Amino acid sequence: MSLPKYLFLAVGLAVLAACGGEQESSAPQEEAAPDNSAVLASVLAGEHRSDEERARDAFRHPAQTLAFFGIEPDMTVVEAWPGGGWYTQIIAPYLKAGGGKYYGASFSPVGASEYAQTSLRAFKKTYLDKPDFYGDVRLTILGEGGDIAPTGVADVVLTFRNVHNWQSSGVAEAYFKEFYDALKPGGVLGVIEHRANGADLPRDGSSGYVYTDDVMALAKNAGFNFEAASEVNANPKDTKDHPFGVWTLPPVRRSAQMHGQEDPDFDQAAYEAIGESDRMTLKFRKPIAADGALLE
């Protein structure tokens, strides 16, 4: 007895499906793209970071901040005035994972205070002397006529809470031009700074707070285009009317004027409740034309 035609059709379709499945399984598989967020999360959880440093993540939001600026592990990144290296200990090993390069654009030790020189020596010992962990870390000088990185090679330049210092010293405009020169066309300048908006504060950086429009003007005058702002580092609790400027707040917790005798009886409770300062997070881009030429 012959089989019904529909059964022959069903068997044929099954054979074709099986053949197709075998062909699909034998095809080469594309390599999965690396999960950069997982790499960064691993760095943030690393034992090289102290409990005190991790506690600041709640105010500094490093994962969200670096994602906003578009940092990838294979990039060349310049950090201006890295200080003690709170962000260096995150960015440098993150870049090492993808073969990227880190430049710390610091200050010249010539004429610097003993405190500043001690800090610089500690930075070198921690980050330059441990390439197996921190990777390709290079220390350059900002504002001394040299290059903070080879001209036009940086993917990103970052500065964290430094613009007020440069305003006070009258060098902010020159430094922003150095950032522009270091970046490749289309490169990003990321600025985080204590935000003065909504307060009646001087514009000379003496309070530690800076007006957003002043940063926007510095970037525009250097040749940058504004791209985006984020509220990831905002803190609405910060009233900005503190007796010793932004340094009254954690993590500095100042209880006297600069170089004054700290007051052991100063009540820090209200400032601890505020936490770290309200901060602007701004992203600028070095312009590029469709044909790859710089826009004037």
Is 271 within a domain? no
- pLDDT of 289: 65
Render pLDDT for 17-64 as a digit per residue (tens, 0 to 9): 444 444 444 555 556 557 899 999 999 999 999 999 999 999 999 999
How many domains are there within the chain? 1
Confirm if 93 and 120 have CB atoms less than 8 A apart: no
Which portions of the chain are predicted below pLDDT 70? 1-33, 289-296
Instruction: Copy the structure tokens of residue 62.
Output: 């490093």
Is 269 within a domain? no
Is 20 within a domain? no
Is 227 within a domain? yes
Is 49 within a domain? yes
137's CB contacts (< 8 A; 6+ apart) are: 88, 92, 102, 104, 127, 128, 131
CATH for 157:
3.40.50.150
Residues in the chain: 296
Given strand 76-80, what is the order of strands in its sheet? 137-141, 101-106, 76-80, 154-160, 183-194, 279-285, 225-230
Give the whole-angstrom CA distance, residue 251 versus residue 176. Answer: 27
247's CB contacts (< 8 A; 6+ apart) are: 208, 253, 254, 258
Structural domain containing residue 39 = 35-236+277-285
Is 181 within a domain? yes
Render pLDDT for 107-138 as a digit per residue (tens, 0 to 9): 888 888 888 889 999 999 999 999 999 999 99
Is 143 within a domain? yes
Distance of CA 121 to the CA centre of its chain: 22
Is 22 within a domain? no
